[in-house]
Amino acid sequence: MSISTSNAAPVSGQASSAAAPEPEELVQLLTPEGERREHPDYPLDLSPEEIRGLYRDLVLVRRFDTEAVFLQRQGELGLWPSLLGQEAAQVGSARALHGHDMVFPTYREHGVAMCRGVRPEQLLELFRGVSHGGWNPKEHGFHLYTIVIGSQTLHATGYAMGIQRDGRVGAEGEAALAYFGDGASSQGDVNEAFVWASVFHAPVVFFCQNNQWAISAPLAKQSPIPLYRRAAGFGFPGVRVDGNDVFACLAVTRQAMRAAREGQGPSLIEAFTYRMGAHTTNDDPTRYRLSGELEEWKLKDPIERLRAYIAREGLAGADFLSGVDAEAEELGEQVRRACRELPDPRPMEIFDHVYAEPNSQVDEERERFAAYLDSFEGAEHEGDR
């Protein structure tokens, strides 16, 4: 063994690979130009109405997201993590779900949330700072947002283990879907979730939106190999799908969820996409990435390609497209109004729901704080606090 003793060589950077990398397979059913492609493993037969439905979803989701960015700029929200560019990954995967399936999102799955029937203003609560949640996860089969990177993948796996124990695996079964990011793929929790899911053969699908960035860290900081290939090492299938292709995301997720529901175990989907906006409204991506990249991805826009396909195939007339646009404008207005109308929480709500059962410590502090508020001259009415 020869050991280099030179200090001069830099230690960071990529391991050099002798052979040119093989092109990675990317499941694509709709090209950026809007041309339909067939894939032997992922047949997809959609009616014109279903296709129009997907288009409408994409447009409404983007409109909602754009509105939320505006609301943040106007000071109505503290923060907003935009999903711009990831609409197809979210709508396609969400439309593959059954009502009984359970979704475990990150903080960016606004499109999935809307498909699961969460109301837009409920999604704003966390970011307006009026609550830590906003909706009842059980009502929507859509868990609360998880900000701590990767945690939810374990929750999804445990939930899936519950599905097994309830005997709900089979033809009419249920499954869990865990969303996470390319950055999250480095977290211990995510890797442990892979181990658990694989060892217990749990009905869970891991849906990684590889948007190429984790704040300022490009994918290369997380992995020198494509993320979908990690699955093989854990013992389950992995597939990379064009994340800007709503058809492919739908077809691939449908198949993975069906397999999970039917007892074939977990799988990993890597949706190859791009974060078109800043990480959040607090972020300034010009500090760390080149605009050329953005321009390249603009050509792969998920909505443009579906619109081109619809036009080419004559699946909808101008009145449908303008109708969707009008609906989107209406949604924007409704979101604006609903956001401003979200009531501020009352101070005493700090003490609500800390425990499921009565708790003497919280009760004592609640009373003491109420007395403190009352001690101010002209204290608000008891009802206000």
Ligand X SMILES: Cc1ncc(C[n+]2csc(CCOP(=O)(O)OP(=O)(O)O)c2C)c(N)n1
Q: Which stretch binds ligand X (CB under 6 A): 28-36, 143-151, 192-200, 373-381?
A: 143-151
Residue in the structure block whose two tokens are 């404008």: 329
What is the chain's length? Answer: 385
Question: In terms of CB distance, is 48 or 345 closer to another protein?
Answer: 345
Contact by Cβ (8 Å): 204, 260: yes
CB of 215 to ligand X, least distance (A): 5
Question: In terms of CB distance, is 28 or 211 closer to Mg ion?
Answer: 211
Contact by Cβ (8 Å): 170, 261: yes
Q: Which of 90, 146, 152, 211 binds Mg ion (CB under 5 A)?
A: 211
Q: Which of 52, 128, 155, 275 is catalytic?
A: 275
Q: CA-CA distance, 340 to 229, in Å (whole number)?
A: 45
Question: In terms of CB distance, is 270 or 301 closer to Mg ion?
Answer: 270
For residue 271, state whether it binds Mg ion (rule: CB under 5 A).
no
CB of 181 to ligand X, least distance (A): 2
Q: Which of 52, 240, 279, 305 is catalytic?
A: 279
Question: In terms of CB distance, is 164 or 223 closer to ligand X?
Answer: 223
279 a catalytic residue: yes
367 exposure class (CB count in 10 Å sphere: 0-12, 13-18, 19+): exposed
Q: Which stretch binds Mg ion (CB under 5 A): 66-74, 98-106, 206-214, 286-294?
A: 206-214
For residue 225, state whether it binds ligand X (rule: CB under 6 A).
no
The closest residue (CB) to ligand X is 181
63 a catalytic residue: no
For residue 211, state whether it binds ligand X (rule: CB under 6 A).
yes
Q: Which of 135, 207, 213, 297 binds ligand X (CB under 6 A)?
A: 213
* Residue 108 binding: pick among another protein, Mg ion, ligand X, none (C-beta 5-8 Å cut-off by kind): ligand X
Residues 170-189 that bind ligand X (CB under 6 A): 181-184
* Residue 188 binding: pick among Mg ion, ligand X, another protein, none (C-beta 5-8 Å cut-off by kind): another protein
Q: Which stretch binds Mg ion (CB under 5 A): 69-77, 174-182, 266-274, 310-318?
A: 174-182
Q: Please report, as a single letter, which amino acid is at residue 25.
A: E
Question: In terms of CB distance, is 215 or 350 closer to ligand X?
Answer: 215
Q: CA-CA distance, 119 to 304, in Å (whole number)?
A: 26
Question: In terms of CB distance, is 68 or 169 closer to ligand X?
Answer: 68
Catalytic residue numbers, as ranges: 275, 279, 288
Contacting residues toward ligand X, per CB under 6 A: 106, 108, 147-149, 181-184, 211, 213-215, 275, 279
